[in-house]
Structure formats: structure tokens, C-alpha cells
Amino acid sequence: MSVKKESVGQVRQRNVALILTAAKTEFVSHGFKGASIKRIAERANIPRANIHYYFNDKTDLYQQLLTEIIVSWNTSFDTLSIDDDPKTILTAYIHEKIMHAKHDPDGSKIFASEVIHGAPILKDYLHTEFKQWLDEKITVIETWIKQGQIDVVNPHHLLFLIWSSTQHYADFSVQILAGFGKETMNDDDFDDVVHSLTSIILKGCGLA
């Protein structure tokens, strides 16, 4: 039986995924400045030259990793519309953000570190694409308020609260675990996070 060979596109996709996964671990462990292309190659178990084939340099690799993280966070909220039911959409968004904290804590930590250090790579993005994306969501929430679907709240602070409270379980996991007196959080723990944050945030918006 013949074995089907991978196409060039499939090989590229596989190698890039390996590199990004290894880079995520490296950047979390050593930060951007301390991260090493050599160690990333070793983590991915590929020749160092392969990384330079797909990425110009460490900055390019870091920037593409940040882009991947942002896209994974924003995709489900990209289509937010005034026709959406506030309770349904906010419940789903809170749940998804917590699942990102559960399944990809390193992604959250890398993004947090970038912003804490003044967002040298993301500064242009934050003032352009991110600002436009956020303004569109703010307009939807303001419309819900005008229609009486949710209480009068500051839309910016509502979204900042969702982001900070959900990402806290990734960015400050060491503190969280110390507070719980646990080595790790299990599925039931994260289910409780989802229930608690959803209840608190929805009640703050006047939603039962």
C-alpha cells in the first residue's frame, strides 16, 4: 500500500505549527529578550535553519505568535451584532475566554507580558485595528443600553472586566493555585469559574 506524501503546503503548515508551539513555551519561560531561536529549534526538534526559512527573525516569529493569539481570542466576537441577545452572547463570550485561560494559559501570559512592557510590537495594532474592533463592539453594547436590554454601564469597563477577570486565571495562575491550596485546577474548578463570573457580570448588567 502506497503512503500518501505530504504536499508542500501541508509540510509548511505542520512545521509552522511546531515552531509556534515551541516558541510559545520559550517566550513564556524567558520573555522576548531572553528567548533563543536555538532553544526554540531544539524544543520543536527541527533544524534552526527551518525557523529562518519560515520566519525572518525572532521579532517576526514573536509578532506572528501574538497575531495567532489575538485571532483565536477575537474570532467568536468578531460578528457581534445589535441583533444578538445580550445574555446569550455575553454568557458565551465569558465561557470562551475562560476556556482560553484553561487550555492556552501561555498565550495569555505572552500577551500580558507584551502589554506590561509597553506593547513595543503591538503598539501600532492597538491604536489601529484593535481600536476599530473595540469601537464596533462598544457601539453594539451602547445600542443594547439604549434599547433597555441591559442596564446603563460603561461598555469599555464591561469588556475590560471580562478580559481581566477571565485572563486572571491564566496570567496569575500561581497566585490562584496558592489561594485554593491546590497543585492544579480541574474541570470542576473551571466550571465554577464560568458559573461565578457569568453570574457576577450578568447581574452587573441587570441580566438575571
- Residue 26 banded pLDDT, cuts 50, 70, 90: very high
- Residue 162 banded pLDDT, cuts 50, 70, 90: very high
Judge whether 127 and 118 are in contact, CB under 8 Å: no
Which residues are CB-contacts of 184 (< 8 A; sequence separation ≥ 6)? 177
Does 133 have pLDDT greater than 90?
yes
CATH number, domain 66-204: 1.10.357.10
Domain 1-55 CATH (choose: 3.40.50.1970, 3.40.50.2020, 3.40.50.1820, 1.10.10.60): 1.10.10.60
Domain with CATH 1.10.10.60 in the chain: 1-55
Give the tens place of pLDDT for each residue, 29-56. 999 999 999 999 999 999 999 999 999 9
Does 2 have pLDDT greater than 90?
no
Domain with CATH 1.10.357.10 in the chain: 66-204
Does 21 have pLDDT greater than 70?
yes
Judge whether 85 and 120 are in contact, CB under 8 Å: no
Does 8 have pLDDT greater than 90?
no
Q: How far is Cα 205 from Cα 158, in angstroms, rounded to an integer?
A: 9
Does 3 have pLDDT greater than 60?
no
Mean pLDDT of 141-167: 98
pLDDT > 90 fraction of the chain, expressed in percent and rounded: 91
Q: Is the pTM of this model over 0.85?
A: yes
User: What is the pLDDT at residue 203?
Assistant: 98
Give the tens place of pLDDT for each residue, 78-87. 999 999 999 9
- Residue 9 banded pLDDT, cuts 50, 70, 90: confident
User: What is the pLDDT at residue 11?
Assistant: 82
DSSP assigned state of 121: T
Mean pLDDT of 14-39: 94
- Please count the CA atoms within 13 angstroms of the CA of 38 that sit on its side-chain side: 1
User: What is the pLDDT at residue 1?
Assistant: 52
Does 22 have pLDDT greater than 70?
yes
